[in-house]
Amino acid sequence: MNRNVLIAILAAILVIGGIWYYSSSEQVEEATGTAEQAAETATEAADTATEAAEDATEAATEATDDAAATATEATDSATEAAGEAMDATTEAAGEAADTATEAAGEAMDAAGEAADAAAGAADDAGAAMTEALDPATFDPDSVIATIDASSLDEGTKATLKSAVEAARANPDLVQPTIDQIKAALGL
């Protein structure tokens, strides 16, 4: 998956999680007017965070599929942090709309940190993919894991994995197999 999709999913999770939490909270029922203002502020903050995350993602244009797996872990952490920010926003709804604005700012910071973490993870995963696709350090299991983590269609994955298995049995096929995999991945 590319980072834009992950960031959009994160933003959607934040908004849906906030809506779910707000709809089930007794505090929201007691302070409907304040909660509506807090939800509107949180939605605006999520939109702003999404825009900032998209801008950060565009700056780190070439992420690998292995980075997507690592970015998913970072997204899970960001989701947890965003959940904590949503809890803080819910408490603030009972107190004042100003406090909700402050919590939304914290959510924006957490989304920015998550985008930074995802960019770092993409760099780490890119280095791992480069090492996996080096004929000098050919490790068939690592190469197969790289293929499985890619966004290639299942038919192409099966063909490439068969080539890796053939290269495992015949070292003379390692370089042509690596070249074929790189071409399929657009590297």
For the chain, the three-class secondary structure string (H helix, E strand, C coil) is CCHHHHHHHHHHHHHHHHHHHHHHCHHHHHCHHHHHHHHHHHHHHHHHHHHHHHHHHHHCCCCCHHHHHHHHHHHHHHHHHHHHHHHHHHHHHHHCHHHHHHHHHHHHHHHHHHHHHHHHHHHHHHHHHHHHCCHHHCCHHHHHHHHHHCCCCHHHHHHHHHHHHHHHHCHHHHHHHHHHHHHHHCC
Query: Which residue in 74, 12, 94 sits closest to 47, CA to CA?
Result: 12
- Provide the pLDDT confidence category of residue 168 given band limits of 50, 70 and 90: very high
Q: What percent of the chain has pLDDT over 70?
A: 64
pLDDT surpasses 70 at 53: no
State the pLDDT at residue 58.
79
pTM of the model: 0.34
Mean pLDDT for the stretch of residues 155-182:
93
- Provide the pLDDT confidence category of residue 107 given band limits of 50, 70 and 90: low
What is the rounded average pLDDT for all residues in the chain? 76
pLDDT surpasses 90 at 91: no
Mean pLDDT for the stretch of residues 40-66:
68
pLDDT tens per residue, range 120-155: 544 454 556 667 788 888 889 999 998 998 889 999
Mean pLDDT for the stretch of residues 8-12:
89
State the pLDDT at residue 123.
47
- Provide the pLDDT confidence category of residue 80 given band limits of 50, 70 and 90: confident
